[in-house]
Amino acid sequence: MDISVVVPLYNESESLPKLYEWLSRVMRENGYSYEILFVDDGSTDGSWNVIRCLHERYPETVRSVRFRRNYGKSAALYCGFKRAEGNVVITMDADLQDSPDEIPELYRMITEGGYDLVSGWKKKRYDNRLTKNLPSKLFNATARMVTGIQLHDMNCGLKAYRNEVVKNIEVFSEMHRYIPYLAKNAGFTKIGEKVVQHRKREFGESKFGLSRFVNGYLDLMTLWFLNKFGKQPMHFFGLAGSLMFVIGLVAVVVVAAMKLHALANGVKAMLIGTNPYFHIAILMMILGCMLFLAGFLGELVIRNSQTRNDYLIREEI
């Protein structure tokens, strides 16, 4: 099979028939063998009934999964990726803001251009500039700096993947924003970008609020830490704890030396126990020990983890 189109959705019943017709027209015109995977993320507006009707009319091309409740886009993509059979996997939103006409070029970039992943870039957007455009630019600038992946729109829903990529990454929590980073960490480094059309929403309203940007930054820090120190937590906690302990110890010695020097010269000096620098130094030593212990416990957890020796094998002869 050439293409699997994975469509996560939540309350998009009005747009689904038009989306299917558009997708199927593009596939037929280009002679692709394909499947469309609708993942209903707990919709309450009748989206599942629409999907069921589409499946009854087009059983050879429509597959679908329905969650019992709303789990989020990452969960929907994870389930879609597990079931995708096409050589190239396309993801797109169900709100008709992503154009299926972009698929042939995305497919070509994967199959002929040799890319592992191609992300869309909605260069010209029709969103509210204050609540979406500006925060999105800030978010993407930070993501480029932290991940080292030079994409202008990392969170764009329209992406194309080599099948091997989606089978070797795990999308969880709200990590769908950073799939290119997950792919890079898994060894798929040929990541490209294509300017794509952004269309105005025809039905309903956006399901995402400003909170996604706050959550996005926290998730980015989590991914960075897991990639950097996930297998060696002692390298982070042990180093930080050791430095803090040593600085605290040196500070205690300095405070004590200053007290002794004052006594030797007959100068009245503050009692060590009432000196605020002494208490700060002791606190740093305690925190240093706690950080070191956290790293040690992290190493014990990693050593007993079932996935401690899980490595992605590219090829075997």
- The domains of the chain are located at 3-229, 233-303
Q: Is the dihedral of CA 95, 101, 105, 110 positive or negative?
A: positive
pLDDT tens sequence across 246-272: 999 998 888 888 888 887 887 777 777
Q: Is the pLDDT of residue 316 over 60?
A: no
pLDDT tens sequence across 57-87: 999 999 999 999 999 899 999 999 999 999 9
Per-chain mean pLDDT for the chain: 86
As a whole number of angstroms, the distance between CA 120 and CA 98 comes to 9
Percent of the chain with pLDDT over 90: 50
Q: Is the pLDDT of residue 162 over 90?
A: yes
Q: What is residue 77's predicted lDDT score, i.e. its pLDDT?
A: 95
pLDDT tens sequence across 190-247: 999 999 988 876 666 665 555 666 777 777 777 777 777 777 788 888 888 999 999 9
| CATH architecture type of domain 3-229 | Alpha-Beta Complex (3.90)
Q: Is the pLDDT of residue 297 over 60?
A: yes
As a whole number of angstroms, the distance between CA 126 and CA 277 comes to 56
**CA distances to 223, 293, 296, 297 from 234, in Å:** 17, 9, 6, 9
CB-based burial, 120-147: b 16+ in 10 Å, e otherwise: bbbeeeeeeeeebeeebeebbebbeebb
Q: What is residue 103's predicted lDDT score, i.e. its pLDDT?
A: 97
Q: Is the pLDDT of residue 131 over 60?
A: no
